[in-house]
Amino acid sequence: MPAANLPASPGKPEPPDSPYPVGAGCVCPQKARFSADMILLWCVSLCGVVSAGVVGLVLLFVLREAWPALAEIGLPRMLRDTEWYPAGEVAEGSFSLWPALAGTTAVTVLAIGLAAPCGLAWAAVQHSGLPKPLAVPQRRLMELLAGIPSVVYGFWGLTVLVPLVNAWHPPGASLFAGGLVLAIMILPTVALLAESALAGVSPEWIRGAAALGMDRWTTLWKVSFPAARSGVISAVLLAVARALGETMAVLMVSGNVARVPRSLFDPVRTLTAQIALEMGYAGEMHRSALFAGGLVLLLAVTGLVLLCEWMDGGRMSAAPSFWRRN
């Protein structure tokens, strides 16, 4: 049993002067400062800092670009105005973020409302011992679904789904169509991540449940899901983040009218679609107002990621640190 924990070949004990850290707490040898390990460590850290720095720079850039709008129009007016006509002068135009915020929220809620139950059900079925000839092709199909580019979904939505919805309830390009396409797109995220969270549940617990005479449903509901809770919630939250950020497919099927939707079949505009549609053509203040919308989106996604982290119980911060000296 102890051999399994050793990094080197089992049976041959680690030499006492090994430069490698043993166990969780790093035991850094005296000569560490000049060893290849330390050089690698510095390089990797540098890369890490650079990539984190890029995120910081993106945030700063978006803030800088949004600043004219935040300063001259102001967030209160962006929330108080009722319409989005940003092309004119600051005094005449109206710069409400509500229509796009409402659109983004509505489409995302609809998409996750459809995708989460389906994805979780799929993960549960995969988890509870589907025969292999069924499970493997199903899994491959789900992975394929994850790999299809979003513009393909959008094109399918525009040429197939929207005309169908239109025949049923015009104008077709609507909140309903957008939510449906988005649900199909985020389904693999929910399903695959939830499945891998369920796969992480200790088999001993499952066997224990079987030994107690629980049926499959009870095992799933009372053992597997509670044990994989944080992973499953992360799966859903990451899917929400993806839904918030999706642009092309939603732009093609949801109508993009900047108006708060009143029904499922009203056209809606998301923040991402708003930016994609208008950025190339926007003048000074218009452009800045679009960046303000982008900032809101960035903050929303940041909030979701933080929530995700928190749900994971701060596992990251508990990881052993290489830098810790003893």
Partner 1 sequence: MSTSTRLTGSHRLAVSTGLLLCCALCGCGNPEGGGDAEAGRIVVTGSSTIAPLMAEIAKRFESRHPGVRVDVQTGGSSRGIADARSGLADLGMASRSLKDDEAELLAFPIATDGVCLIVHADNPIEELTREQVIGIYTGTISNWQAAGGSDAPITVVNKAEGRSTLELFLAHFGLEARQIAADVVIGDNEQGIKTVAGNPHAIGYVSIGTAEHDAAAGVPIRLLSLAGVKARVSTVKSGEFPLSRTLNLVSSSPPRGLVKDLVDFARSAEVHDLIEQLSFVPLVAPEREPARQAQPGLESASATAAPY
Chain positions contacting partner 1, by CB under 8 A = 15, 19, 35-37, 39-40, 42-44, 46-47, 50, 83-87, 158-159, 162-163, 166, 170-173, 251-252, 255-258, 267, 269, 276-283, 286
What residues contact 178, with CB distance under 8 A and at least 6 apart? 107, 110, 111, 250, 253, 254, 255, 268, 270
Answer yes or no: are the C-beta atoms of 153 and 188 closer than 8 Å: no
Least distance in angstroms from the C-beta of 176 to partner 1: 14
Least distance in angstroms from the C-beta of 151 to partner 1: 11
Nearer to partner 1 by Cβ, of 39 and 121: the residue is 39
Residue 183 tokens read as: 């649900």
Least distance in angstroms from the C-beta of 88 to partner 1: 8
Nearer to partner 1 by Cβ, of 96 and 224: the residue is 96
Least distance in angstroms from the C-beta of 117 to partner 1: 30
Nearer to partner 1 by Cβ, of 33 and 315: the residue is 33
Answer yes or no: are the C-beta atoms of 317 and 123 closer than 8 Å: no
Q: What is the DSSP string of 294-310?
A: HHHHHHHHHHHHHHHHH
Q: Distance (Å, rounded) from C-alpha 220 to C-alpha 135?
A: 17
Least distance in angstroms from the C-beta of 325 to partner 1: 21
Nearer to partner 1 by Cβ, of 42 and 310: the residue is 42
Strand (E) or helix (H) holding 265: none
Q: How many CB atoms lie within 10 A of CB 132?
A: 8
Nearer to partner 1 by Cβ, of 72 and 309: the residue is 72
